[in-house]
Structure 1
Amino acid sequence: MTDPARAADDPGHAPQNPGPRIIYLVKRVELIARAQLDQITREHGLTTLQYTALSVLRAQPGLSAAQLSRRSFVSPQAATEMVGALEAKGMIMREPDAANRRVLRAHLTDAGHTALNACDRGADRIEQQMLRDVAPDDAAALRRALTACASGLGSADGTDALRA
């Protein structure tokens, strides 16, 4: 008979019927939610990445494109294009930084706030659907656990991506 405590330390011993890996479940939820969020943002003339950037700017107005790229999970080049597109759509405005006029600080416009709020309502519906069979205490525990998991893994570039 195998000692369960030892079996956990033995890489050659897999537990019987452990269920799907958590990373698989997280990815599955992400893919489904992302497809639905893509549809919602498209209805409001945005991409999901643009919605993310607007959300970040709401939480932290005045970011530069470089700061926005780190907090929006995109490369600096992609952020530059995204900021240009959002500015062209009238969703953000940029103004020179008072201390360094070469740095442009981005802020939401009224149109940006309106689009962001509309997408937020759609995102709320997705979350409500996703959590419909989850007790409120369990949903709160899930939020805490996923936040801890993200913190434990860190972000790809070494910055704390959850600051947004």
Structure 2
Amino acid sequence: MIESARAQVTTEESEPRIIYLVKRIELIARAHLDGVTREHGLTTLQYTALSVLRAQPGLSAAQLARRSFVSPQAMTEMVGALEAKAMIRREPDPENRRVLRAYLTDEGRAALEACDRGADLLEERMLRDVAPEDAAALRRALTTCASGLTAFTAAEAAHA
């Protein structure tokens, strides 16, 4: 049964694979976000990190790296750049003075909000012809897919 469904998905006459469509959307969105963030002196990855800090203030660089999908080394450089641009400030953790906690500054919040407007516009355009209930279903489905892949990759890593 699964092989039959797989064969149908991979034939030339079939609809494109979902992973292809996700990648296509990612490439288009990334190109747009690169332009939006550049206008505000940021990279898309810096925008992602600032977004994470807005949701979870006070993360360490290591925690921020995990939640922003970059390596700890890349995050160390990014945190330094964001601090130099006065987008974030870091403070020692009261319980472990060697750990620095990152927080948005007013400048960082303003740049983040400006980039958010560009991201909102992109999402509005992408979902323009999608019914609100379908957009909500898409969000739930993609969230479930991301969770499933996270569990899958964690299980694969445990067996390696």
TM-score when normalising by structure 2: 0.89
TM-aligned CA distance change 1:35 to 1:155, over 3 Å: farther
Cα distance in structure 2, aligned partners of 1:81 and 1:156:
30
CA deviation vs aligned residue, 1:117-162 (integer Å, no higher than 9, x gap): 000010000000111111111000000000000000007984xxxx
* Corresponding residue for residue 158 of structure 2: none
* Corresponding residue for residue 119 of structure 2: 123
* Corresponding residue for residue 31 of structure 1: 27
Q: Which structure carries more relative contact order (alpha carbon 8 Å, separation 6+)?
A: 1
Summarize the alignment of residues 1-164 of structure 1 with structure 2, pairs less than 5 Å apart. Answer: 6=1, 8-10=2-4, 14-15=7-8, 17-154=13-150, 158=154
Aligned-pair CA distance for 1:10: 4.7
CA deviation vs aligned residue, 1:87-143 (integer Å, no higher than 9, x gap): 000000000000000000000000000000000010000000111111111000000
Cα distance in structure 2, aligned partners of 1:26 and 1:108:
31
CA deviation vs aligned residue, 1:67-100 (integer Å, no higher than 9, x gap): 0000000000000000000000000000000000
One-letter identity of the residue aligned with 1:95 = E
Gaps in structure 2 of 5+ consecutive residues: 155-160
One-letter identity of the residue aligned with 2:7 = A
SS of the aligned residue for 2:114 comes to helix
Cα distance in structure 1, aligned partners of 2:152 and 2:4:
30
TM-aligned CA distance change 1:101 to 1:110, over 3 Å: same
Q: Which structure is larger by alpha-carbon Rg, 1 or 2?
A: 1
Cα-Cα RMSD = 1.8
Percent identical across equivalent pairs?
A: 75
| Large movers: runs of 4+ above 6 Å | none
Aligned length: 151
Aligned-pair CA distance for 1:18: 2.8
